[in-house]
Homo-oligomer: A and B are copies of this chain.
Amino acid sequence: MTSSDLLELRRDLHRHPEPAWREFYTTARLVDELESRDLDALYVGREVLSEEDRMAVPDDDELDAWFERAREAGAREDVLERLEGGYTGAVAVLERGEGPTVALRVDIDGLPITESDEADHAPVAGEFRSQNEGYMHACGHDAHATIGMGVLDAIAESDFQGTLKVFFQPGEEQIAGGKPMAKSGHLDDVDYLLAVHIGLDHPSGEIVAGIDGFLAVSHFEAEFTGTPAHAGARPEQGDNAIQAMAAAIENLYGIPRHADGATRVNAGIVEGGTATNIIAEEAFLGGEVRGETTELMEYMQEKARRVVRSAAEMHGCEVDISTEGEAPSARSDDALVDVVSAVAGANDGVTSLVERDSLGGSEDATYLMQEVQANGGLAAYVGVGTDHPGGHHTRTFDVDEDTIGLGIEVLSQSILDVASSRP
């Protein structure tokens, strides 16, 4: 694939941003590309996911609407069929003789953000602005998928000895796709795993050899159900779902800090009630907890559940709490970071090298990293700088397309060096 083909691929993905479990067009387009290559195996949809570990799967209506939209956008019918029910994503395998198994993980989903339509927004000028109004590749996953394809090509053309697996992961933004992919079995024989993220406020030309500081995270949804009543005529007959939720929120933020490290909690979304004169029957709370380690996140999670349950009980309400996404913490292994660092240091296109940096957020590549590390393998999360006019998750976000090639170079050379040196 020429670099102009890759560019075209990136722009086509950019035109069709799709959120978690709805990456129908995206997966179909990728599979279409992958099938034209000389792969040793290609797994798609259900084949790459542990069914029971999927989180935050939308309802059928929602899935159907996106499925139909992908079809109308020209997605291949035979591939779409393999994705039915929201089983998106793919794993491509290249076997090239004796050698370790090296994996690259890229994510492919978009965000529910309306893309800028200003003339100075490059996708507008270049005519590849989102066609899925209200959704956008505002975090560069279109570039990630493209890098995955490019690395596959580069390794295919190299003298690589070993096996390469490229994971095209769905649902990262909702930290919903990492776990089912990590538990799919495809990582069982992986010796080395690289994951990649573009941007993160690092400029074009800068490479971060190892990113750490992933906070373990868990998203939850709490649905409070009480008893409605007329607030004027019969206030005593209500069991107030909004009052229960307010008590929960106040006390969620009051979960004790932990001496072992950073913790976080947020009540990020609320909705409830139908009228000012009705005591609310229903209230919805979307929140999350985090921890510097998985244990700290679990400490917060346990306390948060207790708070939410007690608040419901306090006001005579029922509450249903569900986990909608989860990711552990993880750490990039020194040996792997050293390889990437050496490769980047030797690459003329790299104008700045950062050994290690801290993300300070969450990412479910950590599920895959942990899985590999638990099996005795090594993992690292690599940052590829890119000038981005708007911040991540804003409507004016865009990537410097020139950095896609640099990312492919650094990652494929790292894979080659890892395979030969077996650090």
Q: Which B residues are CB-close (under 8 A) to A37?
A: none
What 0/1 readout, one digit per residue, does chain A (212-249) give for beta carbons within 8 Å of chain B? Answer: 00010101100000000011111110101011011101
* Interchain nearest-CB distance for A356 vs B (Å): 17
Are A361 and B232 in contact, CB atoms less than 8 angstroms apart?
yes
- Of B268, B272, B307, the contact of A231 (CB 8 Å cutoff): B268
* Interchain nearest-CB distance for A328 vs B (Å): 14
Are B314 and A264 in contact, CB atoms less than 8 angstroms apart?
no
Are A279 and B259 in contact, CB atoms less than 8 angstroms apart?
no
Are B232 and A217 in contact, CB atoms less than 8 angstroms apart?
yes
Q: In chain A between 282 and 328, which residues have their CB closer than 8 angstroms to a CB of chain B?
A: 283, 286-288, 290, 299, 306-307, 310-311, 313-316, 324
Closest to A268 in B: B276
Closest to A218 in B: B276
- Of B219, B259, B307, B316, the contact of A314 (CB 8 Å cutoff): B307
Are B276 and A219 in contact, CB atoms less than 8 angstroms apart?
yes
* Interchain nearest-CB distance for A263 vs B (Å): 7
Are A286 and B273 in contact, CB atoms less than 8 angstroms apart?
yes
What 0/1 readout, one digit per residue, does chain A (76-95) give for beta carbons within 8 Å of chain B? Answer: 00000000000000000000
Query: Is A131 at the interface (CB under 8 A from chain B)?
Result: no
Query: Is A376 at the interface (CB under 8 A from chain B)?
Result: no
Give complex CA distance A270, B242 in Å.
8
* Interchain nearest-CB distance for A390 vs B (Å): 15
Q: Which B residues are CB-close (under 8 A) to A238?
A: 256
* Interchain nearest-CB distance for A58 vs B (Å): 16
Are B259 and A236 in contact, CB atoms less than 8 angstroms apart?
yes
Q: Which B residues are CB-close (under 8 A) to A316?
A: 306
Assuming the contacts A231-B268, A270-B242, asked whether A236 and B254 have C-beta atoms less than 8 A apart, the reply is no
Are B299 and A306 in contact, CB atoms less than 8 angstroms apart?
no
- Of B253, B275, B310, the contact of A311 (CB 8 Å cutoff): B310
* Interchain nearest-CB distance for A357 vs B (Å): 13
Query: Is A158 at the interface (CB under 8 A from chain B)?
Result: no
Are B253 and A243 in contact, CB atoms less than 8 angstroms apart?
yes
Closest to A267 in B: B242
Assuming the contacts A269-B275, A277-B266, asked whether A215 and B232 have C-beta atoms less than 8 A apart, the reply is yes
Query: Is A362 at the interface (CB under 8 A from chain B)?
Result: yes
* Interchain nearest-CB distance for A121 vs B (Å): 21
Number of this chain's copies in the assembly equals 4
Give complex CA distance A266, B240 in Å.
9
Q: In chain A between 305 and 362, which residues have their CB closer than 8 angstroms to a CB of chain B?
A: 306-307, 310-311, 313-316, 324, 360-362
- Of B231, B310, B313, the contact of A288 (CB 8 Å cutoff): B231
Are B306 and A310 in contact, CB atoms less than 8 angstroms apart?
no
Give complex CA distance A45, B313 in Å.
44
Are B267 and A275 in contact, CB atoms less than 8 angstroms apart?
no
Assuming the contacts A290-B232, A306-B316, A310-B311, asked whether A257 and B264 have C-beta atoms less than 8 A apart, the reply is yes
Query: Is A125 at the interface (CB under 8 A from chain B)?
Result: no
Are B259 and A268 in contact, CB atoms less than 8 angstroms apart?
no
Q: In chain A between 92 and 116, which residues have their CB closer than 8 angstroms to a CB of chain B?
A: none
Give complex CA distance A361, B233 in Å.
5
* Interchain nearest-CB distance for A44 vs B (Å): 29
Are B286 and A276 in contact, CB atoms less than 8 angstroms apart?
yes
Known pairs A217-B277, A236-B256, A306-B316; list 12 more (Cβ under 8 Å).
Answer: A230-B361, A231-B290, A232-B362, A234-B259, A247-B250, A247-B251, A259-B360, A266-B279, A268-B274, A270-B272, A276-B286, A306-B314
Can you offer 13 A-B residue contacts whose CB atoms are under 8 A? Answer: A231-B265, A231-B266, A231-B268, A232-B290, A235-B257, A243-B249, A257-B264, A268-B279, A270-B271, A270-B272, A271-B272, A273-B286, A313-B313
